[in-house]
A and B are shown apart, each in its own frame.
Chain A
Amino acid sequence: MKKIGFLMAATALVAAGAAQAERASDGQLNIIYWQAPSLLNPYLSGGTKELEAASLVIEPLARYNETGTMVPFLVDEIPTVANGGVSEDLTSITWTLSEGILWSDGTPLTAADAVFTWQYCTDENSGCAQLSNYNDVESVEALDDRTIKITFSVPKPFPYGPFVGAQSPIIQAAQFAECVGAAAPTCTDANFAPIGTGPFVVTDFKANDVASFAANENYRDPAQPAFATVNFKGGGDAASAARSVLETGEFDYAWNLQVEPEILTQMSAAGQGTVVSAFGTSVERMHVNQTDPNPDLGDERGTAAHPHPFLTDPRVSRALSIAIDREILVEAGYGSAGQPTCNVLPAPAIYASTNNDWCLNYDPDEANRILDEAGWVVGDDGVRVKDGVRLSVLYQTSTNSVRQGTQALVKQMWELIGVETELRNIDASVFFGGDPSSPDTFQKFFADIEMYTNNFDGTDPERYMGNWACAEAPSPETQWQGSNNQRFCSAEYDELVVEFGQTAALEDRAALAIKMNDMLMDSGSIIPLVHRGGVSAHANSLQGVLMNEWDSELWNIADWTRAD
C-alpha cells in the first residue's frame, strides 16, 4: 500500500514537472489539540477547540490575519464607507462574494447561504453560541447570487460582526436546512461533518477524540492545500502535547501550550520543533471589589448599597499594583507567552494607552509610602490597620497551576507592604459557571480581589469596554449575571460607552477607548498584570505557520507546507 502511494506520488511529481506547490503533495499533517473538539459546528459549541478545528472546513467572508488586519477570504474586497460597501449612515454593509467559489460538494456558494446562516444562528430555539456576532442585525438579504446586504437596526461604526472571523463562518443552507432551531442538536451528521468552502473536508469525526480531514477537491486555489490529509488528535494535557511535537516528533503542530516556561525551553532543546507565540487582547488581571463582600450583610452582600471598606480608595489599589513585580510573574508563569501590562485594553496598538506605565515600575517603597500617607499604620503583627480595619484581603481565582503560582508570589510581595492575603482557588467550571445559586462564581465575587483572563473577539473593543457600564454590574436583581464583576460605576464612564457606540472615525474611537481604559485604571478597580499570548509549537519541517491570536490559529492552513 505504502509503495503504491509512493509510486503514485512520484508519478504525480513527474507529471507536475518542477511545479513548486501542488495540492495534496505533502502527505499527512498531524495536529494535536490537548482539548479535543466535541463537534465541528461552532454555532453549537462556542469553545475555542471546536472553532479552530472547524476553521479547516468552514470559512467566514473575511478573516483577521496575524496582525489583526482583515483579509478577504470569500470576497474580493472588504466593504468600507470609502468604497461604498458600507452605507453613509452606517446602518448597512454589502458584501460581494468572489466569483466561482464552490462548496466541497461541488455546488456553488451563494448569498442565500449567508442569509441561511444568519437565520440558523438567530433562531430563538437553537441556543446558538455565536449569537452576539449578529447583535443588532435587522436583516440579511441576498440581493443576487453573489451580493449579501446586512442591515443593522442602529448605526454600526464597526459593521464587521457577522460573517467575519472564526466565530462567524458560513454554513451550507442545503446541508443544515432541516437543522434549524430545536432540531439543531439532532443533526449529528451535519454537526460532525459540515460541508465547507475551506481547504479541507471532514472524512471522519470521533467526538472528543480525533478528526480526520482530506484536501478539498473544489478548493478555490488549485495548488492548495499542500497536505493531502490532516489527522487532528485531541486529549491529554498540554505538557505531553508539547512533548509530542518538540521531543518525540510524532506530531507537527500543538496548540495552546500552557506549560511552565522552563519545561517548554527544556523540551525545545531537543531541536525537533519551534515554540511560537502571538499576542491578542487577553489580559490576566485582578478585579478589585468595589462592594463589601462581608457575609454578615446577608442578601445585600456584594451589592452597590455597601461600598467596600477600603478598596474603593484608589490609593490602596495603586499601592497593591506597584507592589507587584510583574516581570517575576511573567518569568515564573508565562515565559514568551506573557508581557507585563498596565492596561486592561492592551491591543490593537492604536487602542493601547501609555498613560499607566507607572505600574511597570516595581516599587515596594513607594507602595509603603502611599499606604502610610493614606493613614494605614503597620500593626504589631506586621499588617496595616486603619480605623480598626485590617488591610487583609481574600484573593480568589480559578484552579490552575500557573494561577496558584502567581497567587503565592503576589502574597509574598504584598506581605512586604503590610497587606495580609488569604488565598482561595475555585474549580474553573464553578468559578466561570455563572450558576446564580453557587456562592463561588466570579460574578458574585464574594472576595476582595479576583484574578482571571478576559479578552474580546476580533479587533474592535466597543463591546468589551461596555463591560464596565454601571448596568452591567451583577447583582441579585440581575440574577448575578453581568460583566462588570468589580461593580465599578461612574456616570461619566457610562456616557463614554454611549458615545463610543455613535463614533465612527477610527482615530476618535481609539481616543475614546484609551480614555475609558485610563478611567478604569485610575479608579483602581482593575489591576492588570500580564498581557497573555497564545503559545503553540510546530515541527521544524512545517512551513508557513503564522501564529494568529485574532482569528483561528489555523487560519492560513492552506498555505502550510512540508519542508524537505
Chain B
Amino acid sequence: MFAFTIRRLLFAIPTLLAISFIIFAILDLAPSDPTGNLPLTIPPEVRAQIRSSLGLDEPFPIRYALWLNQFFINEPLNMIEGWTGWTIGDGERLRVTSWATRSPVVDLIVERMPQTLWVVGMSQIIAILIAVPIGVISAYKQYSWFDQIGTFVSMLGFSIPTFFTGLVFIVLFSVHLKWFPSIYDTNHVIDSWSSFVFQIKQMIMPTMVLALATAAQLSRYMRASMLDNLQQDYVRTARAKGLSERVVVTIHVLRNSMIPVVTVIALNVPTIFGGAIITEQIFRVNGIGQLLIIGIQGADIPLVQTLTFIFAVLIVMFNLIADVLYGILDPRIRYE
C-alpha cells in the first residue's frame, strides 16, 4: 500500500506538469483580452500599453516559464517565509499577480477560502447526513412509500438546477417571509451568540441549495449499492447466524455498500474547494467559484491558470485518496 501510494505520487508529477501546460496553452489560445471589458472610451494605444505592462508582449514559452517559476518556487518560498518569519534570499520575489486586481493571486484565494469552505463544505456534510440514511432506508424498504417519495424528491433534486432553486429560495424566504438575507456578508465576524445566529441565517439558503442537489445524487448511489449488497449470500449467512437486523444492516451491509459512495464523496471534495460558481453568484458568497468566473470573464489569465491548476492538483490527490480508502474499507482490495 505504501509503495503504491509513493508510486502514484511520483507519477502525479509529470501528469500535473502536463496539465499545467495544457491549461496555459488553452488560456493563451482563447480569444479573450484583459482590456476587452474596459469602456470603449479608452483608445487602442492605451490598451496596447496596458497589455504590455501586463507582460503580454512576451512570447508564450517565456510567459509559461515565468509562471512555473512564480508558482512552484516563489510562492512556496513566500509561504515558508510567512509561516516561519525567516527571510530567504532578499525576500523580493515576483509572485503570481492577478491582472485585474494587481495583487497576488494566492492572497486572493486565501481571502476567499473561509466563505467557500463554510458554505460549500457545510453543504457536502449536510448532503451526506441526508443522503446516507435516505439511501439506506430506501433500499431496505424497497418500493415502500418512503422509497417512492425519496425517489421522487431525489429526481427533483437531480433535475432542477441550482440557479432555479436558489431564486425560489430567495423569493420565498427573503422577499416574502423575510427570514434570511439574500446577500451573504463576507465581512461578518462571529464574536457573539447573535452574530453566530446571523452566520447560520446567511448560510442556510446557499448551503441548502447545494446540499439538496448533492444529496439527491448521493442518496441514489447509496440506495443502489445497498440493494446490491442486500442480495448477497453473506447477508443471508449473517441473518442465519441469528444476528439482529440492525447489526446486519448497519455493520455488514452498510460498510460494504459505502465503497462506491466513498468514491463519489472523495471525488466531490475538490469541488468544495472549487466553490460553486452559480450558487456563489446568486447569493453573493463571493468565494473561489465567483473568483474563477470573474477571472474568466475578465481574461485574468494568471488567476484562472493558478486556480484551475490548484483544482487539478486536488482532483489528482483525491483520486489517490479514494483508492487508498478502498483498501481500508475492503481488505480484499490490495495494491501491489
Contacts and interface: CB of A to CB of B under 8 A. Distances in A.
B126 to A, nearest CB: 23
A329 interface: no
B256 to A, nearest CB: 45
Contacts of B46: 46, 128-129, 131-132
Contacts of A204: 187
Contact of A430 (B31, B51, B104, B182): B31
Interface in A236-281: 236-237, 240, 243-244, 247-248, 250-251, 270
A456 interface: yes
B53 interface: yes
A433 B49 contact: no
Given A127-B54, A432-B36, A36 B294 contact: yes
A489 B53 CA distance: 33
A247 B175 contact: yes
B43 A248 contact: no
B114 to A, nearest CB: 11
Interface residues of B, number: 56
A38 B103 CA distance: 9
A182 interface: yes
Contact of B32 (A38, A236, A430): A430
A60 to B, nearest CB: 16
B237 interface: no
B53 A127 contact: yes
B33 A435 contact: yes
B59 interface: no
Size class of the contact patch on chain A: 35 or more
Contact of B37 (A32, A185, A429): A429
B252 interface: no
A455 B40 contact: yes
Interface stretch (B147-155, B266-274, B284-292): B284-292
Interface string B177-198: 0100111011100001000000
A422 to B, nearest CB: 21
Contacts of B174: 248, 250
Interface in A435-452: 435, 437-438, 440, 452
A48 B101 contact: no
B41 A206 contact: no
Contacts of A431: 36
Interface string B20-53: 0000000000011101111111111111111111
Interface string B93-135: 0000110111110011001100000000000000000000000
A125 B53 contact: yes
Nearest to A249: B178
Interface string A106-148: 0000000000000000001111111110000000000000000
B216 interface: no
A104 to B, nearest CB: 21
Contact of B286 (A1, A132, A208, A240): A208
B102 A44 contact: yes
Contact of B297 (A210, A429, A438): A429
A186 B333 CA distance: 52
A243 B43 CA distance: 35
Given A185-B97, A188-B102, A235-B284, A129 B294 contact: no
B281 interface: yes
A77 interface: no
B31 A440 contact: yes
A498 B247 CA distance: 92
Interface of B: 31-33, 35-54, 97-98, 100-104, 107-108, 111-112, 170, 174-175, 178, 181-183, 185-187, 192, 281-284, 286, 290-291, 294, 297-299
Closest 4 CB pairs of A and B: A127-B53, A433-B33, A433-B36, A185-B102
Given A184-B102, A235-B284, A432-B33, 19 more contacts: A126-B53, A128-B49, A129-B38, A129-B42, A131-B45, A131-B49, A188-B102, A191-B102, A206-B111, A209-B186, A231-B187, A236-B282, A236-B283, A240-B170, A240-B282, A244-B182, A250-B182, A452-B40, A456-B41
Interface of A: 1, 32, 36, 38-39, 44-48, 124-132, 182, 184-186, 188, 191-192, 204, 206-210, 212, 231, 233-237, 240, 243-244, 247-248, 250-251, 270, 427-435, 437-438, 440, 452-457, 481-483
28 contacts: A32-B183, A36-B286, A38-B100, A39-B103, A46-B35, A47-B39, A124-B49, A125-B53, A127-B49, A127-B50, A129-B50, A131-B46, A186-B97, A191-B103, A204-B187, A210-B186, A243-B170, A244-B182, A248-B174, A248-B175, A429-B37, A433-B31, A433-B33, A434-B33, A434-B36, A435-B31, A435-B32, A481-B48
